[in-house]
A and B are shown apart, each in its own frame.
Chain A
């Protein structure tokens, strides 16, 4: 075993940022998570900068990218799938080219942000849940689709300081085709599953909030669910020592989903009048939390949603999702992306950049927003970092083309 195999790595393949991945695990490709396996199996070899689909030296690609940005009147920095350092570079690039900036998860991030900005919220973090939660209500999500190791690392753990982990009550509410199997307790206890279609979640969640607030609900059932069942859930939440209400904004993909999120967070606020409860927003990927936070402290405002039609050049960054691309009719596109980027049509410029946690070191925010973890290159390569490439483009803009 080499020294490299003793190093502990943080996996940026989802927002959970599991930091217990050993070099040996990576070397042997033995993961309990498909996303990690896919991430660490990626290869960086053989990728060259391209202009118009043809391999060129890096300097030429940088020059071409700078030329396109110089011509553009309203450029857009998008995708933005990167870590904190990459986000700093992209904010800088956006500021100095007059570009708008967005992230490929901006629309789901904004569902949460609208609630935060309208009402605020009361939330918790993974270690609190791991040690305190006795009731976990999953609303419209199974979590594991996004954060595969959530139950392994947070719920069915061996030790917790203030509760008996194996005795936790897990309740799934709503959603379509949820994978509820991870909610089965180690002793075989099955979770309570209250099924309803996703599009009915708004009324079901509004009813649950009303019941928690002891409002009169006259209907017998809501979206096919007996109100008495929801009342029992409300009572369970009220009786809990530390109820945790979990949602993933990406799973709430219907119009005005922010209102459902607000019903979740305001249910928490109501519970906290007398008992303890907290919300937990999960999901998170492609560095979305990192980019939003960094953008906020550098710019004073959160990241916004893209308006593709109003831009005449796009810088697309896809460090973590090589398959993610801007809308097909976007042009011209400069991709500063993973070396294994997959595009059907050759972009105007493609510059392969290092992926944090794979090719280079970095720092990333976990999905719960309070913890930042260092990323260590699992397969160090000589690919330039996003920061380096952006600096080269800016030097070109300020120099030759200025």
Chain B
């Protein structure tokens, strides 16, 4: 059956279309060229005057895996019962959820209602990948995927300290992608999570690891080269050293040079853009960071915007989260060392606009957004749930698109923070085309989803239809229609059909001989068999709902 979306006002940056009125044809979940007149059109939606974009893609959102579930367990006081209607009630009855760490059902439902059709879990501990996929498998409506964490796993650190050749590292990285069913590689506080296990409390970019005698820079070089050479699209996803530390902007600037010019993605860069100026020794270095991003074309970044309210931070960076635990609100936290692979730190936070640091963090994120020229290289994230829940995206979009709305919010901030920010001098207002770029076309390109994030022929028919409104928060909070793989699943901001999405992976070729050493490592030091570390396609698909979509190397 062919579905026709008639008179769509298309905003599709991948094809340089900015408000082009055209018809879109869908068959078997894909966008097709205009069929012959003889072919029957089964369904027609007249979208006269409606804005049509590809489904949005969240390239960094903590939606599955141990940290998030611990966060759910940790904060019963923020859970609230919700009574769901059909068809949500069909898969989840008495639904209890917290806005910052929704349960899996709510996660999928709230994303699709906002026109998002995919989300990527950015911090999958390799050893915890099976759990991450189970949770994501129980997340309806959207496509999923993840980035496997390397760079604090003892296997890699041993290889580097023994001066293993790059080919061995490449094979191990590719093997990890296969074993964990992920699409990218992330490094969190390179070397730092490991160093914390040796009682180090800080790891700077050029500081030698106290046991392995290698630097974070070396880890970044090796991993960014590996990711580049094995041929996956997604550049190394880097959570820099010194998360949240005043003065850390210099580490961030230095990190940009650590991949020797190879593509590198710096994540939640707001948390890494802090100076030490002013009476409180905490200032915005957003201008320095944005300038560096503008000048370093190999760098992409997502922001990790904070928005005010209660949330919970969930990070692999247990070294820095152990420090942050002192300012937890409510005052409790979970810090874990995990399986000679990585760690995790779950710390609740309440960001308040009257608090100097929080207010400045809010401004810093927006300063970065507004000062980076190229929307293809800066991505809209709140680092859900760390900066704010993903459900606040429509609000964030309005802050970017509406200067007077933004300035009104700025005027309510802590006065000392206002004095330390140049946000009000930034007049830029994002256009719909730029929003579509940073939330659709650019993430698809970055991750390597060639058939998503655009509306060209052959693309998966993940499509969101909006009514243009002056209030952009209202517009993006409630699309008129959302199609997932060609099926109408949301109408007037409400789910009308439950679907399950797929899991996106990248599986580059590698020398399987690398398993010999990995197996020896598992046999000597681990408490599980290497075979059980590896997740098969069948394990992802075994409940009959999920399936794996592997992406060609690109």
- Which A residues contact B (CB, under 8 angstroms)? 8, 10, 19-20, 84-85, 88, 92, 94-96, 98, 113, 116-128, 130-132, 153-154, 158-162, 241-242, 272, 275-276, 278, 293-294, 296-302, 363, 365, 369-374
Q: Which of B40-48, B182-190, B338-346 contacts the other chain?
A: B338-346
Q: Which of B4-12, B257-265, B349-357, B524-532 contacts the other chain?
A: B524-532
| Minimum CB distance partner of B93 in chain A | A95
Q: Which of B113-121, B327-335, B473-481 contacts the other chain?
A: B327-335
- Which B residues contact A (CB, under 8 angstroms)? 66, 68-69, 72-76, 79, 91-98, 101-106, 125, 127-128, 130-131, 134-135, 138, 154, 158, 196-199, 211, 322, 325, 328, 332-341, 346, 524-529, 531-532, 539, 542-543
Complex CA–CA separation, A94 to B96 (angstroms) = 13
Complex CA–CA separation, A123 to B335 (angstroms) = 7
| Minimum CB distance partner of A292 in chain B | B73
Given known contacts A117-B73, A127-B526, is B336 in contact with A98 (CB within 8 Å)?
A: no
Given known contacts A128-B339, A300-B72, is B98 in contact with A98 (CB within 8 Å)?
A: no
Most interface-central of A85, A120, A241, A369 (chain B CB within 10 A): A120
| Minimum CB distance partner of A118 in chain B | B332
Q: How far is the CB of B224 from chain A (nearest CB, A)?
A: 26
Interface SS of chain A: helix, strand, loop or mixed?
mixed
Q: How far is the CB of B88 from chain A (nearest CB, A)?
A: 11
Complex CA–CA separation, A339 to B528 (angstroms) = 30
Is the CB–CB distance between A370 and B199 below 8 Å? no
Is the CB–CB distance between A365 and B131 below 8 Å? yes
Most interface-central of B135, B341, B525, B543 (chain A CB within 10 A): B525
Is the CB–CB distance between B72 and A98 below 8 Å? no
Question: What A residues does B529 contact at CB under 8 A?
Answer: 8, 19-20
| Minimum CB distance partner of B521 in chain A | A161
Closest CB pairs A-B (n = 9): A95-B93, A120-B332, A300-B103, A372-B130, A300-B96, A126-B527, A127-B339, A122-B335, A120-B333
Question: What A residues does B94 contact at CB under 8 A?
Answer: 95, 98
Is the CB–CB distance between B211 and A162 below 8 Å? yes
Is the CB–CB distance between A297 and B525 below 8 Å? no
Is the CB–CB distance between B96 and A299 below 8 Å? yes
Complex CA–CA separation, A122 to B525 (angstroms) = 22
Is the CB–CB distance between A296 and B340 below 8 Å? no
Is the CB–CB distance between B138 and A125 below 8 Å? no
Is the CB–CB distance between B339 and A371 below 8 Å? yes
Is the CB–CB distance between A293 and B69 below 8 Å? yes
Q: How far is the CB of B74 from chain A (nearest CB, A)?
A: 6
| Minimum CB distance partner of B104 in chain A | A297
Q: How far is the CB of B192 from chain A (nearest CB, A)?
A: 14
Complex CA–CA separation, A300 to B66 (angstroms) = 14
Is the CB–CB distance between A371 and B528 below 8 Å? yes
From the candidates B74, B211, B339, name the one contacting A120 in the complex (CB within 8 A). B74
Q: How far is the CB of B125 from chain A (nearest CB, A)?
A: 7
Is the CB–CB distance between A120 and B527 below 8 Å? no
Is the CB–CB distance between B532 and A300 below 8 Å? no
Is the CB–CB distance between B525 and A120 below 8 Å? no
Question: What A residues does B105 contact at CB under 8 A?
Answer: 298
